[in-house]
Amino acid sequence: MKYKRILLKLSGEALMGDKNYGIDPNRLQQYTAEIKKVKDMGVEIAIVIGGGNIFRGVQAEKSGIDRVQGDYMGMLATLINAMALQSALEQAGLYTRLMSGIKVESVCEPFIRRRAIRHLEKGRIVIFGAGIGNPYFTTDSTASLRAIEIEADVVLKGTRVDGVYTADPEKDKSATKYQTISFHEVYEKNLNVMDMTAFTLCQENNLPIIVFDMNKAGNLSKLVEGEKVGTLITS
């Protein structure tokens, strides 16, 4: 196995599946099956999930909601997704812990680094909800930060595109995919991988990122075994 401890980042939008809003139970089942496969291989798994399928602070600002208030609403949205994922994983017989960036004591534990690592060592899947717990950040930044804190081997960014392309493949048919690319080249070519805060954190801490298609069955386990799936970004 190439990676022993992974940080899987899933966007909130991915959970919508074919719906326009909210959580698609089929998509949740599909992700659960993929995660279970990797867990059964003995990999330690931490997950950060977004909230874009429910609420985003930046968008809320446009409709007159205070930005900071909107960001906290976004963080709560990620918690809703995290709770849904936790429930699906547990129904599949997996052991999980949900840790939150903001205090929601009746629902889950607060994020405590040492505790998160202990959960992973004990074989529990740790889900980080509510982002970092501060406004003006994203769940991509949360993924980078938490991955560094828990000493994950890699950030796996599961998207609906199968890697990093020379241009947006949904708009430009001539776009080609990179198998590997350096952090520096991503900057230079102004490619859209993650927001800059998230990206810089990975670069400065030498933490590789793999962007891959999470909707294709088997991709996650292939990646963990070291197969070339998606795009690998390294120093």
- Binding positions for ATP are 9-12, 52, 56, 159, 165, 168
* Interface characters, 138-177, with ligand UDP (x: CB under 6 A): xxx-x-----------------------------------
- Interaction residues for ligand UDP, span 183-212 (CB under 6 A): none
Q: To the nearest whole angstrom, how small is the minimum distance from the Cβ of residue 210 to ligand UDP? A: 16
Q: Contact region for ligand UDP (CB under 6 A) — 5-13, 87-95, 148-156, 223-231?
A: 5-13
The Cα–Cα gap between 37 and 190 comes to 35
Q: To the nearest whole angstrom, how small is the minimum distance from the Cβ of residue 29 to ligand UDP? A: 19
The strand order across the sheet containing 109-110 reads: 109-110, 96-100, 125-129, 44-49, 5-10, 154-159, 209-213, 231-234, 180-182
Q: Contact region for ligand UDP (CB under 6 A) — 133-141, 172-180, 183-191, 221-229?
A: 133-141
The Cα–Cα gap between 115 and 120 comes to 9
The Cα–Cα gap between 26 and 14 comes to 11
Q: To the nearest whole angstrom, how small is the minimum distance from the Cβ of residue 224 to ligand UDP? A: 22
Query: Going by DSSP bridges, is the β-strand pair 109-110/44-49 parallel, antiparallel, or unpaired?
Result: unpaired
Paired residues of 35 in beta bridges: none
In terms of CB distance, is 52 or 208 closer to ligand UDP? Answer: 52
Place of tokens 């962007």: 211
* Interface characters, 41-80, with ligand UDP (x: CB under 6 A): ---------xxx---xxx-----------xx--xx-xx--
> How far is CA 102 from each of CA 9, 29, 134, rounded to the nearest angstrom?
19, 27, 8
Place of tokens 């003006």: 136
Among all residues, whose Cβ is closest to ligand UDP?
A: 50
Q: Binding site, residues? A: 9-12, 51-52, 56, 71, 132-139, 159, 165, 168
In terms of CB distance, is 142 or 231 closer to ligand UDP? Answer: 142
The helix (H) or strand (E) run that includes residue 193 is none
Please spell the DSSP secondary structure of 89-131, one letter per residue.
Answer: HHHTT--EEEEESS--TTT-EEP-HHHHHHHHHTTPEEEEEST
In terms of CB distance, is 182 or 215 closer to ligand UDP? Answer: 215
Q: Which residues bind ligand UDP (CB under 6 A)?
A: 11-13, 50-52, 56-58, 70-71, 74-75, 77-78, 131-132, 134-135, 137-140, 142
